[in-house]
């Protein structure tokens, strides 16, 4: 007879999940403002996904980082990747209208950094299993650590057992399938 083992997410899987929520929250917020240019998480470039995960890791290690510092960090990475200011976003030409100092951003753009930080903060004390933890027949975790305290690159024997369905944003006037 085999033990009933529930696989739980590793810290890396949790960073991925938090990054996805951050991205999708930003995409939904942007859509509420009429900007439908953001792709779903799985359709974004690998570089974009890594950038979001890097920001999540940074905020988990730096809980008192203000949103304006998060924006400055994002700008630094964009500028290092040869992006420049442009009045409209153009991925091909690497132009972005938010490559401005925090105080020069419109208020609705500053909300994005605050929203990102709030999502990460909401997950900050999510309990994740330690490297040898598993749940057997309803037993308590053998070992528990908070996600914000896990070492860089932590991986454990547990892996996520499911994927999240893509989030769809319905534009005004569109019909909802099966609904």
Residue 143 near residue 130, CB atoms below 8 Å: yes
pLDDT of residue 70: 92
Please tell me the distance from the alpha carbon of residue 23 to that of residue 108, in angstroms, as a whole number.
Answer: 16
In angstroms, what is the C-alpha Rg of the chain?
A: 19
Distance CA 21, CA 147 (A): 16
Burial of 7 (0-12, 13-18, 19+ CB in 10 A): middle
DSSP 3-state of 51:
helix
pLDDT tens per residue across all 179 residues of the chain? 444 444 445 678 888 999 999 999 999 999 999 989 899 999 999 988 999 999 999 998 888 899 999 999 999 999 999 999 999 988 899 999 999 999 999 999 999 999 999 999 988 766 554 443 333 323 333 333 444 444 444 443 333 333 334 444 445 555 555 44
DSSP tag of 90: B
Helix/strand/coil percent split, the chain, to 5: 45, 10, 50
Structure confidence at residue 152 (pLDDT): 43
What DSSP assignment string belongs to 100-136?
S-GGGS-HHHHHHHHHHHHHHHHHTT-EEE-TT--EE
In order of 23, 37, 71, 95, 107, the CA distances from 91 in angstroms are 17, 10, 18, 6, 23
pLDDT of amino acid 103: 93
């Amino acid at each position: 007879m085999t033990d009933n083992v529930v696989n739980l997410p590793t810290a890396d899987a949790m960073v991925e999940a938090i990054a996805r929520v951050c991205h999708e929250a930003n995409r939904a917020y942007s859509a509420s403002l009429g900007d439908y240019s953001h792709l779903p998480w799985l359709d974004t470039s690998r570089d974009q996904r890594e950038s979001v995960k890097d920001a999540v890791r940074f905020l988990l290690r730096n809980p008192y980082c203000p949103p304006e510092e998060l924006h400055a960090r994002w700008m630094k990475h964009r500028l290092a990747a040869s992006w420049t200011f442009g009045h409209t976003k153009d991925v091909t030409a690497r132009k972005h209208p938010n490559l401005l100092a925090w105080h020069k951003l419109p208020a609705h753009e500053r909300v994005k950094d605050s929203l990102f930080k709030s999502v990460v903060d909401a997950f900050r004390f999510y309990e994740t299993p330690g490297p040898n933890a598993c749940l057997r027949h309803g037993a308590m975790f053998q070992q528990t650590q908070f996600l914000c305290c896990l070492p860089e690159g932590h991986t454990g024997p547990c892996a996520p057992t499911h994927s999240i369905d893509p989030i769809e944003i319905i534009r005004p006037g569109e019909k909802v399938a099966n609904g």
